[in-house]
């Protein structure tokens, strides 16, 4: 195993982890505000197909990424309308959003199946700018949540929305902003998949990464810096199956393909053995609708 191989392995892991980091950080902010959005997979698929279509027609990766974020933003706005405006069940609404995103992306992506695109995203030290952005977002979000007044307010809304409302803060507006932010990052994660990670369109190309991102939030116990470590772990599992032949290991490809999902299950089981690990940082009002008096 030479130095070039190790460098290639690290860079591949970083690229595989990038969509997981983006989607998980977005969902982390949503859940810190007390909202549970299970529609990450659907928003990622909508972002992926929108980014691919726009980049194919315009030749601009920037426009593609913007379209991906816009698609995620649009679906998250729909989720917010239903769950925050009409007070529908957040779990059922999120699952419906995923099914909607899967169907919409399959229909909209039919003309692009099998096509490839050259995004031409600038690279620095072997990594593209979006990957660096994902890495930088982890400490930035930690600073926002722990050190800023806005972050404190966001956490207060996720813990005790009735108290935040009583002292004059608009709980639903804050939750709306969090949901839209999460949707934009999920759309960006999907765009990264179709433009950089695997620069082509294939139906269902997220392959469950949205669900892994949801698991990552729990794995990280709602802490942004731990999301980075978890994403690199799951990203490394994904890349391992691609580099096994180079290592000369005779392991069935089917087993390697299930490694990221197996790791997700194992990690969640280990964490959930002690409920205190989860309850330590889980927002008290997570998934609970709030009806303001005014």
Is residue 294 assigned to a domain? no
pLDDT beneath 50, residues of the chain? none
As a whole number of angstroms, the distance between CA 294 and CA 162 comes to: 11
pLDDT of residue 199: 87
- What the block records as the tokens of 255 is 């087993």
Question: What's the confidence (pLDDT) of residue 195?
Answer: 93
**Predicted local confidence at residue 281, as pLDDT:** 77
Domain count of the fold of the chain = 1
Return the number of other C-beta atoms located less than 10 Å from residue 65's C-beta.
Answer: 25
Query: The domain spanning residue 203 has which CATH number?
Result: 1.10.3470
Write down the H helix ranges in the chain. 3-32, 40-58, 61-80, 90-108, 129-147, 149-159, 161-166, 171-192, 209-219, 224-247, 253-272, 275-279
Tokens of 115: 């096509």
Predicted local confidence at residue 249, as pLDDT: 66
pLDDT for the residue numbered 255: 74
Whole-Å CA distances, 172 to 118, 155, 256: 41, 13, 43
Per the domain annotation, does 208 fall within a domain? yes
Q: What is the pLDDT of residue 168?
A: 86
pLDDT for residue 276: 67
**Percent of the chain's residues with pLDDT above 90:** 59
Mean pLDDT for the chain overall = 88
Enter the DSSP assignment of 111: G
Domain with 175 in it = 3-281
Rounded to two decimals, the pTM is: 0.90
């Amino acid at each position: 195993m030479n130095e070039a191989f190790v460098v290639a392995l690290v860079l591949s892991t970083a690229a595989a982890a990038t969509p997981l980091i983006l989607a998980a950080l977005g969902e982390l902010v949503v859940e810190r505000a007390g909202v549970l959005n299970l529609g990450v997979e659907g928003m990622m698929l909508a972002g992926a197909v929108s980014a691919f279509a726009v980049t194919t027609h315009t030749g601009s990766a920037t426009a593609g990424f913007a379209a991906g974020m816009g698609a995620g933003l649009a679906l998250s706005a729909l989720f917010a309308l239903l769950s925050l405006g009409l007070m529908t069940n957040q779990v059922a609404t999120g699952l419906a959003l995923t099914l909607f995103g899967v169907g919409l992306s399959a229909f909209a992506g039919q003309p692009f199946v099998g096509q490839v695109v050259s995004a031409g995203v600038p690279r620095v030290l072997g990594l593209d700018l979006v990957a660096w952005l994902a890495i930088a977002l982890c400490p930035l979000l930690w600073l926002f949540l722990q050190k800023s007044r806005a972050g404190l307010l966001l956490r207060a809304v996720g813990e005790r929305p009735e108290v935040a409302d009583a002292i004059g803060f608009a709980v639903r507006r804050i939750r709306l902003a969090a949901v839209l932010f999460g949707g934009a990052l999920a759309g960006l994660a999907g765009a990264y998949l179709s433009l950089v990670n695997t620069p082509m369109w294939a139906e269902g190309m997220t392959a469950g990464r949205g669900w892994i991102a949801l698991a990552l939030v729990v794995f990280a116990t709602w802490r942004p810096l731990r999301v980075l470590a978890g994403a690199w772990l799951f990203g490394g599992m994904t890349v391992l199956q691609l580099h096994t032949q180079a290592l000369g290991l005779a392991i069935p490809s089917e087993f390697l393909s299930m490694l990221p999902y197996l790791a997700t299950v194992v990690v969640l089981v280990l964490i959930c053995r002690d409920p205190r690990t989860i309850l330590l940082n889980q927002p008290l009002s997570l998934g609970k609708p709030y009806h303001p008096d005014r």
